[in-house]
Structures are given as structure tokens and as C-alpha cells.
Amino acid sequence: MDVHVRDLRYFVAVAEELSFTRAASRLFISQPTLSKQIRQLESSLRTALFERDRRSVVLTPAGRALLTHASAIIGRWEDARRDVADVVARQDMVLTVGFQNRIGRGLIPSVTARMGVELPDWRLKFRQVSWGDPSAGLAGGEVDVAVTWLPVPDTGEFTWKVVSTEERWVALPVGHALAGRTAIPFSELASEPFIAHPPSAGALRDFWLAEDHRRTPARVVAEAENPDESFELVAAGVGIVLLPAENAEVSQRADVVHRPVLGLSPSRLAVVWRTKDRREAVHVFAESCARCLCYLPDGASSVPI
């Protein structure tokens, strides 16, 4: 009878890719699952939506009729989510800040102080988001503003200001052959097994695998959703992982050592918000982040939260 919006999203993905396999990997589900769901949608509508003749997948007339409605419904649902989140944030005067690693860098005390002066009725709420979401929770409306590492999806939907630029370091298990060195050229690390962000992280995953600095893709042995998971895997000797310099300093563990990596472009921490979100609080927050970094010299800013 009624449909799950997820299934409409599946349908649109297949209609766009005209391939079950590609659509499935874009949606981060298995191909049989996608086939099953589309079949189920077809049987609930009592008609075929795609013509599959072994080598090609094309929309039927019925599929074409559904496509515009499906996209509209998905879009309307996303509008609904954001409207609801906005109403809540506005009346509660709460700005939800998404972050992936710890934030640190002296941002929090500085920004809260400034927000307290400019918008005394507003409060900040912090929510840790998974590495798997490249928009750090902005796309789904779970957060109003995010402090995250670039790149974020460059679709015009998001706007950002760089807050900090830091060299990339590496986390190694204590017993590792290179753990004794004071700094390590990336060329010596390239063939090591790596811990990666989930595939859904997209360009951000590639950045922390330093794919731009390789000839052949990195050897990924495990995936982690957050820093603690990845440190645990490093300590267990499963693989190694790159991380920003500041995080190396604040995340000290007895079983993991951090070393600078030579020859990599630096990483950039940014404050990000939805381009369409014109609320004053968002801009005050972003401005505060940017300003805070002007006042403090690089060395003095490493205050873990």
C-alpha cells in the first residue's frame, strides 16, 4: 500500500545509473538487496518499472511516470526534515555543532565566550557524527553547523571557512619498524596496510588515504567510524592511519605512537554550514571560529576539550 521513502530513493538511484550493480554500490547496499527491493516496489505497483534484458536496464513508461513523483517526494521529505530541525533550533535557541574528531584547538572556549556576548540566549549542543557522512550531519539536518576536515561535497549546498591548516601525521603501533624515527617520508608508508574511513565518506576517505600522493590505490585492511575505533585497530597492529598534527598531540596512548609524515599536502579544518541557512546564529558561530584562530598563535592553540 504505502511506500518507504528509502525504496523511492533506491528506485531513483537505479533510474539514474541504469544499472543495479552501480546503484547498489552508490547506495552502500548489496546488489541482491537492491534487486529485491525494486522487485517488491514493482509488485506493489503491479507493473514493471525497468526492462532488464540481460545487458541493459531501461525505464518502462510506468517507471518514467513514477520517476518525477519519486524525486519530488524525496525532496519534499528532506525539506520537511530541515524545516522541523529549523523550527526546533529557532525556538530552543540551540545551535547543534557536528564534529568528527575531537575539536580542540582552543575553539570551544573562545567560541562559547563570543557567542555568550553576541547571542546570550543561544546555547551550543555538540554531536559527534560518523566519518561515514561526508557532510558531517548537515545534509540530513541533524546538525546546524559542522567543524570538519576538508573536502566536503562540493555541490554548492555547503559553504565553509578554513579554521586551521595542519600537517598530516601517522599513528603507528609501538612495536612498528618505523616507530623509532622522528619523521617519516610518505614513500616509506605507502605500501603499509591502512585503516580507512567508510566508503560513504567519499573524497574525505581518499584524502586520509593520501590517494593523491600514490600511484596505486592504498591497501585498506579495515574501516573505522571514528578516531577511537581507528586507534584501537592501530594498537592491535591491524594497520596504520594518518591524522592531523594537533590530534596526534592530544590523543596520547601508551600503545600508539604518532610521527610527522613528510611530503604530504597539509589537512585543513573548516567550519561548514548549509549555504541556504541564513540564520544569524550560524554566521556568528562561523565568524567566531575564524576569528579565534587569528588571535592565537599556532602553538598556543592546542587546548584539548
Write out the residues near DNA by the rule CB under 7 A.
4, 6-7, 19-22, 28-33, 35-40, 52, 54-55, 57
Contact 146, 136 (CB under 8 A): yes
Cβ-proximal residues to 120 (8 Å cutoff; 6+ apart), any chain = none
Query: Contacts with a second copy: how many residues (CB under 8 A)?
Result: 33
Q: With contact defined as beta carbons under 8 Å apart, do 49 and 62 qualify?
A: yes
Instruction: Give one word for 121, left, alpha or beta, with left for phi > 0 and alpha for psi -120 to 50.
Output: alpha
Shortest distance in whole angstroms from residue 6 CB to DNA: 6
In the list a second copy, DNA, none, the entry touching 28 (Cβ below 5 to 8 angstroms by class) is DNA
Closest CB to DNA among residues 1, 254? 1
For residue 33, the partner it binds in a second copy, DNA, none, with Cβ less than 5 to 8 A by kind, is: DNA
- Tell me the closest approach of the beta carbon of residue 80 to DNA, in angstroms: 17
Q: Which is nearer to DNA, 39 or 123 (CB)?
A: 39
Verify binding: residue 183, a second copy, rule CB under 8 A.
no
Place of cell 591502512: 194
Residue 124 interacts with a second copy (CB under 8 A): yes or no: no
Interface residues for a second copy in 57-96 (CB under 8 A)? 61-62, 64-66, 69-70, 72-73, 76-77, 79-81, 83-88, 91
Between 66 and 170, whose beta carbon lies closer to a second copy? 66
- C-alpha cell recorded at residue 271: 567550519
The verdict on 123 binding a second copy (CB under 8 A) reads no
Q: What is the dihedral of CA 276, 279, 285, 289, to 10 degrees?
A: 30
Query: Which of DNA, a second copy, none is residue 31 near (CB under 5 to 8 Å by kind)?
Result: DNA
Q: Smallest distance, Å, CB 70 to DNA?
A: 15
Q: How far is CA 212 from the centre of its chain?
A: 18
Q: What angle do CA 136, 225, 92 make, to 5 degrees?
A: 40
Q: Residue 146: enclosing H or E segment and its boundaries?
A: strand 145-149
Alpha carbons 272 and 282: distance in angstroms, whole number: 10
Decide whether 65 or 150 has the Cβ nearer to a second copy.
65
Question: Under the criterion CB under 8 A, does residue 142 sit at the interface with a second copy?
Answer: yes
Instruction: Name which of a second copy, DNA, none residue 140 binds, using a CB cut-off of 5 to 8 Å depending on partner kind.
Output: a second copy
DSSP state of 229: H
Please report which helix (H) or strand (E) contains residue 164, including its range.
Answer: strand 158-166
**By C-beta, is 65 or 119 nearer to a second copy?**
65
Q: Quick check: 3 binds a second copy (CB under 8 A)?
A: yes
Using CB under 8 A as the binding rule, whether residue 295 contacts a second copy is answered as: no
Residue 201: exposed, middle, or buried by beta-carbon count in 10 A (0-12, 13-18, 19+)?
Answer: buried
Residue 37: name its binding partner from DNA, a second copy, none (Cβ under 5 to 8 Å by kind). Answer: DNA
Are 241 and 194 in contact by the 8 Å Cβ rule? The answer is yes
Residues in a beta bridge with 161: 271
Tell me the closest approach of the beta carbon of residue 176 to a second copy, in angstroms: 39
